[in-house]
């Protein structure tokens, strides 16, 4: 599945969005153990699949037929079921699940749909069931940074979200999720970590300014709520498919696409293309670092003396080249036409969906302004045409009435009198 900005897609989205989405599901696994679970708006199903490894049964629903088809093909197990469904009418019997999970869903619908969704959650939950729901805090997510997510219809402030949940549940426990900067000191001899998720058993009394709100809700008191507290670092290494398009031969009429893994650790990347010795002489090279991502990139070194010329970049500085295209491309100029390998190293940042939306917002605002101007011109044109049609209709009515008068009997009888009157007027003017 492709990333559109509306749903998180594993192996398509990295950085903060990846960590945020995965951490939510990891953090609640203790609450779904041996439980019947509903994952409302499950997207492509990665979270449903994770919970199915702990729960007795998980039902994933989503309004997107493509998402449910993908999930059914990719994650189907003996204790999971995926159903196409709107959140306003949950396809489950009354009191049939122990836990309802809904992450980053409720802000995508209007106030009436939100009320219906919460009512449906209450209906399908067992009397002692738990709702685990997340949503962005409008103040921190949108207001302070001046950001608009066009997929969101109605966001909540903290107090609004809490009051909303209290209309159906007696016990509400609120949490925040977000990124923060910290300093760490540890042995350089420690082997690379193998896990990607850590629980926090001791939280210091420091302000939590996470921009996402996560609520645990129930009509019964929830035991050991602190077990949701956790830290999830960004993955230490990521791998992407990188492509080199080579034209070779005496006339440059032969073409070959060579694919290699571009690995990223932190902000550093490296990629090596082999098999180039088979392509002689090389006439031209085009490099696509990654496909399907918006990136910032700085090339530090290459195994061959080469110049990398960005073909579709948005901006370029001494520090990096920024792309707002999903297929960033460089032309590669090399000194020799008979190279065997090409290794490229540098710094890269894969921009997450939120960063992309922020980058694109000025362009979106400009397009919206242009559309508004065009709409105003269109409305003016419609008004002018309407006025013209009114004038034409009035002219035609006057001509019709004039024709009727001239064709009347009284007009014909008084014709000699009108002629005498005009002659008298002419004589008076002559004297």
CATH number of the domain at 308, please.
Answer: 2.60.220
Q: Indicate the number of domains in the chain.
A: 2
Are 154 and 207 contained in the same domain? yes
Residues 60 and 173 in one domain: yes
In this structure, are 223 and 291 located in the same domain? no
Please check whether residues 256 and 321 belong to one and the same domain: yes
Q: State how beta strands 97-103 and 125-136 pair.
A: parallel
Of the three residues 316, 351, 386, the one that is the final residue of a domain is 351
CA separation for the pair 292, 262 (Å, rounded)? 14
Q: In this structure, is residue 2 part of a structural domain?
A: no
Quick one: 29 and 149 in the same domain? yes
**169 and 244 part of one domain:** no
* CA-to-CA dists, residue 421 to 145, 408, 413, 414, angstroms: 83, 20, 14, 11
Q: Domain range holding 212? A: 16-180+196-231
270 shares a domain with 214 = no
CB-based contact 79:55 (threshold 8 Å):
yes
pLDDT tens over the chain, length 431 residues: 554 445 555 555 556 777 887 889 999 999 999 999 999 999 889 899 999 999 999 999 999 999 999 899 988 889 999 999 999 999 999 999 999 999 999 999 999 999 999 999 999 999 999 999 999 999 999 998 888 888 899 999 999 999 999 999 999 999 999 887 666 666 666 555 555 666 665 555 566 788 899 999 999 999 888 888 888 776 667 788 899 999 999 888 899 999 999 998 878 899 999 989 889 899 999 999 998 788 889 999 999 888 999 998 888 887 789 887 778 999 999 888 888 999 999 999 877 555 555 555 666 677 777 788 788 888 888 888 888 888 888 888 887 877 776 666 666 666 666 666 766 666 666 65
Q: Same domain, yes or no, for 117 and 250? A: no
Residue 51, domain member (yes or no): yes
- And the tokens for 139? 């103040």
Q: Name 366's bridge partners.
A: none
Q: Do 127 and 226 share a domain, yes or no?
A: yes
Packing angle, helices 158-166 and 111-124, rounded to 10? 40
Residue 204 belongs to domain with CATH number: 3.40.50.150
**Do 204 and 295 share a structural domain?**
no
Same-domain check for residues 82 and 68:
yes
């Amino acid at each position: 599945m492709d990333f559109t900005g509306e749903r998180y897609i594993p192996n398509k989205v990295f950085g903060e969005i990846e960590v945020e989405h995965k951490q939510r599901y990891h953090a609640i696994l203790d609450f779904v153990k041996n439980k019947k679970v509903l994952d409302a708006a499950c997207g492509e199903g990665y979270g449903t699949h994770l919970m199915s490894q702990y729960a007795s049964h998980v039902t994933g629903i989503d309004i997107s037929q493509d998402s449910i088809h993908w999930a059914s093909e990719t994650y189907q197990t003996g204790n999971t079921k995926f159903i196409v469904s709107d959140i306003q009418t949950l396809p489950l019997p009354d009191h049939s699940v122990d836990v309802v999970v809904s992450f980053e869903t409720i802000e995508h619908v209007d106030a009436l749909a939100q009320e219906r969704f919460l009512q449906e959650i209450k209906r399908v939950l067992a009397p002692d069931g738990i709702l685990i729901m997340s949503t962005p805090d409008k103040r921190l997510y949108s207001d302070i940074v001046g950001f608009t997510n066009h997929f969101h219809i109605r966001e909540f402030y903290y107090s609004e979200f809490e009051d909303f949940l209290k209309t159906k549940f007696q016990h509400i426990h609120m949490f925040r999720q977000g990124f923060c900067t910290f300093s760490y000191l540890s042995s350089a001899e420690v082997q690379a970590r193998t896990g990607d998720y850590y629980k926090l058993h001791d939280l210091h009394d420091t302000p939590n300014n996470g921009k996402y709100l996560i609520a645990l809700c129930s009509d019964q008191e929830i035991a050991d709520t602190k077990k949701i507290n956790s830290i999830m670092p960004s993955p230490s290494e990521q791998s992407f498919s990188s492509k080199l398009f080579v034209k070779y031969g005496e006339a440059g009429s032969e073409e070959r696409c060579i694919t290699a893994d571009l690995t990223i650790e932190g902000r550093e990347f490296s990629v090596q293309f082999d098999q180039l010795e088979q392509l002689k002489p090389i006439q031209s090279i085009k490099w696509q670092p990654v496909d399907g991502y918006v990136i910032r990139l700085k090339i530090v070194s290459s195994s061959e003396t080469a110049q990398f010329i960005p073909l579709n970049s948005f901006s370029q500085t001494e520090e990096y080249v920024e792309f707002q295209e999903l297929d960033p491309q460089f032309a590669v100029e090399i000194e020799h036409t008979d190279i065997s390998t090409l290794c490229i190293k540098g710094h890269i940042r894969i921009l997450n969906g939120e960063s992309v939306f922020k980058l694109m917002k000025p362009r979106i605002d400009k397009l919206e302004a242009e559309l508004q101007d065009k709409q105003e011109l269109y409305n003016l044109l419609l008004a002018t045409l309407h006025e013209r049609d009114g004038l034409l209709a009035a002219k035609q009515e006057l001509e019709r009435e004039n024709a009727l008068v001239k064709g009347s009997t009284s007009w014909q009888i008084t014709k000699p009198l009108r002629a005498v009157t005009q002659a008298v007027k002419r004589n008076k003017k002559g004297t």
